[in-house]
Amino acid sequence: MAIQSGEAIPEATLVTMSDEGPTPVSSTEIFRGKKVVLFAVPGAFTPTCSIRHLPGYIDLLQDFRDAGVDTVACMAVNDSYVMDAWSRQAGADGILMLADGNAEFTRALGLELDATGFFMGMRSQRFALVADDGVVSRLFVEKPAEFKVSSAEHVLANL
């Protein structure tokens, strides 16, 4: 069952890229004491994710900060090398890029997507959430093949 508003973010390890290479980071470290907007995509470099989803958050990053958001994070079931390359290609400075390579966090959230029919394996559903001090306050999960409620514009308007 998918996480709901009012529930705590589950504990899991994600990976970011640092100057030292892939760096594990706990979900507790990411969310504790902060207002975080996390959006997840089925895959880095995929069309909707690269053309619309990530760019919307890049373009509105300052607006999120002005609205009191401490961290805007993008997550995909990809490895940290792919997430880092995607970030560099997209110019996503200021967006925390999170790799959930084994889908551990995605499964803990109950938001996995079986994309084996598209030769992509297990992925994350397209979603966005707002968390305040580690508790989900808003959750926006897309219907299959849609891109509406998890867009930067929609999430910002619903903070």
Establish whether 49 is a catalytic residue. yes
Residue 63 — φ and ψ, nearest 5°?
A: -65, -40
Residue 113: pLDDT over 80 = no
Q: Count Cβ atoms below 10 Å from residue 149 Cβ, excluding itself.
A: 17
For residue range 51-106, list pLDDT tens digits in order.
Answer: 889 999 999 999 999 999 999 999 999 999 999 999 999 999 999 999 999 999 99
**Token pair for 111:** 């938001």
For residue range 8-28, list pLDDT tens digits in order.
Answer: 999 999 999 999 999 999 999
Q: Count Cβ atoms below 10 Å from residue 11 Cβ, excluding itself.
A: 13
Q: What is the pLDDT of residue 115?
A: 60
In the structure, what pLDDT confidence band is assigned to residue 43 with cuts at 50, 70 and 90? confident
In the structure, what pLDDT confidence band is assigned to residue 118 with cuts at 50, 70 and 90? low
Q: What is the pLDDT of residue 141?
A: 97
Q: What is the pLDDT of residue 1?
A: 81
Residue 128: pLDDT over 90 = yes
In the structure, what pLDDT confidence band is assigned to residue 46 with cuts at 50, 70 and 90? confident
- Better-predicted residue by pLDDT, 155 or 144: 155
DSSP-derived pairing of the beta strands 112-114 and 96-99 = unpaired
Closest CA to 123 of 143, 145, 106, 142: 106
Model-level pTM? 0.94
Quote the CA–CA distance of 74 and 128 in Å, as a whole number.
Answer: 9
CB-based contact 61:20 (threshold 8 Å)? no
pLDDT, averaged across the chain: 94
Q: Where are the alpha helices (DSSP H) in the chain?
A: 27-31, 47-48, 54-59, 61-66, 80-90, 104-109, 152-157
Helix (H, G, I), strand (E, B) or coil at 43: coil
In the structure, what pLDDT confidence band is assigned to residue 117 with cuts at 50, 70 and 90? low
Residues 105-120, mean pLDDT to the nearest whole number: 81
CB-based contact 21:79 (threshold 8 Å)? no
Catalytic-labelled residue, pool 14, 41, 44, 49: 49
